[in-house]
Amino acid sequence: MEISAALTALESLASSPSTSSSGPLTILLDKHFSTARQKLLSGEDAALVLSDLQKQVTRAKKDVEKGLKGWYGALGGVGKAVEKAFPPNLAGISEAYDDPPLFVREEAREALDRAVMDSMARRGLWEAVAAMEEETGQIYNDEKRSLAEELGRIVGDMENGELSSALEWCNENTAFLRSPPHPSSLPYYLHRTIFLSLPNPSEAMTYARSHLLPFLSTHPVLELITSRLYIPPVSASTSTASSSSYPSGHNPSTSLEPPSNGVVDVDMGKVNPYPSVNGENEVSLINMFRGEYCRRHGLPKEDPLGVAVDLGGRGGALAVVEKARRVMGERLGNIRAWEELPMEVPLPASRRYHSVFVCPVSKEQATESNPPKMLTCGHVLASESFDRLLKGGRRSAKCPYCPVETSQSAAQRLYF
């Protein structure tokens, strides 16, 4: 269980009255004790009243224990998640790397404090930022604060289903969003979501003429408009997170998209011929907007501190590095003096950051769908260029720069 999931389970217990220990006690004090007091004052048999009250106390005790059992389980889940994410001997590992001592220089400590404050500011934890300012004596950058507050305000509007502030930001930054080499599709997806959410077809067509036709040359606008005849109207704010990759790097929601096999119009009895025209969910748009906002202002797309913790803990990089230190430390010396690791650290695809590679054969830039591949001889080509060398059903291809041949299975994908 991930730490975030364990904490979410703990928060749900805190908001649930069924797992609150104060609930049964409140009922016991406000209802049963008051009732028993009234019965005693009215002259009823004290033995019977106290016997009934004793049963209510026993029942309340069981209810409290039942609620506490859920709390103990959730707290245990948090502890297990923390142990799984971080090595149990983290303190001992830290001491091993503390030669020379870490963060002893003033500029190093300030850099670490700034990284922590940046991480909290990205999450909108301004009270924590203020507390850290008071503790460290640093003042959080006013420009960063202004940008983080603006981003938080627009994201908050989007979470409430209000896209006007995001569209206003897009209009103010039109030149940037249209600039090469990577023009953004964010305005199109914002307008598309609004178009699909309009309940009146006539109103939707009017909106499309005003806001979607400018994207006709770059996006499937005609398919989108035609699919409106088959797709029932949806709410721009009705969405839940799901996992997919449409558009690239973002998630469509099942609540905003038709089934993959098409939508049946009950009145017309027709199947939607455009099942690929999906609605964009709120979480997807927020991720897309956050990425473009950070790109516009030169901010990292992801929280650097979060990435480091994720790679070291859940990603397992710290465990691999620590194993290398224990096994090879005596032979290679102090790990802090190593210029490179003696083994590969496994990283998920989303954490493989690399430079731009241009294929020397096709002169095209490598992409996720056309990655660089290294041949047996060591030369590197784009995947599509290597596939063209294998045309005609050949099992191996000769390198265009040397006489060495490489089989299809021997070519390895490269991450720079």
pLDDT digits (tens, 9 = 90+) for 348-377: 777 777 667 888 888 888 888 888 999 988
Identify whether 372 is preceded by a cis peptide bond (ω within 30 of 0): no
Those residues whose C-beta lies under 8 Å from the C-beta of residue 46, and which sit 6 or more positions away, are 40
CB count within 10 Å of CB 57 equals 14
Is pLDDT of 271 > 90?
no
In which element (H, E) is residue 412 found?
strand 412-413
Chain mean pLDDT for the chain: 77
Q: For residue 262, name the pLDDT band (cuts at 50, 70, 90).
A: very low
Residues 93 and 242: their CA atoms lie apart, in Å, by 37
Domain 355-416, CATH among 3.30.70.1070, 3.30.40.10, 3.40.50.300, 1.10.150.20: 3.30.40.10
Does the pTM surpass 0.75? The reply is no
Per DSSP, which regions of 64-221 are E strands?
A: none
Q: Which residues pair with 270 in a beta bridge?
A: 265
Tell me the one-letter amino acid at 43.
G
Q: What is the DSSP letter of 164?
A: H
Query: Which tops the pLDDT comparison, 261 or 339?
Result: 339
Query: Which tops the pLDDT comparison, 291 or 334?
Result: 291
Structure tokens at 166: 């995001």
Per DSSP, which regions of 41-105 are E strands?
A: none
Predicted local confidence at residue 348, as pLDDT? 75
Domain layout of the chain by residue ranges: 3-86, 106-140, 153-296, 355-416
Q: What is the DSSP letter of 256?
A: G
Residues 346 and 314: their CA atoms lie apart, in Å, by 12
Q: What is the pLDDT of residues 141-195, one digit of tens each?
A: 999 999 999 999 999 899 888 999 999 999 999 999 998 877 889 999 999 989 8
Q: For residue 135, name the pLDDT band (cuts at 50, 70, 90).
A: very high
Is pLDDT of 61 > 70?
yes
| Pick from 39-43, 107-111, 164-168, 358-362: least confident | 39-43
Structure tokens at 182: 């990577």
Tell me the one-letter amino acid at 367.
T
Is pLDDT of 248 > 60?
no
Q: What SS3 class is residue 74?
A: helix
Q: For residue 132, name the pLDDT band (cuts at 50, 70, 90).
A: very high
- Read off the pLDDT of each residue in 294-311 and give the average, rounded to a whole number: 87
Residues 299 and 379: their CA atoms lie apart, in Å, by 35
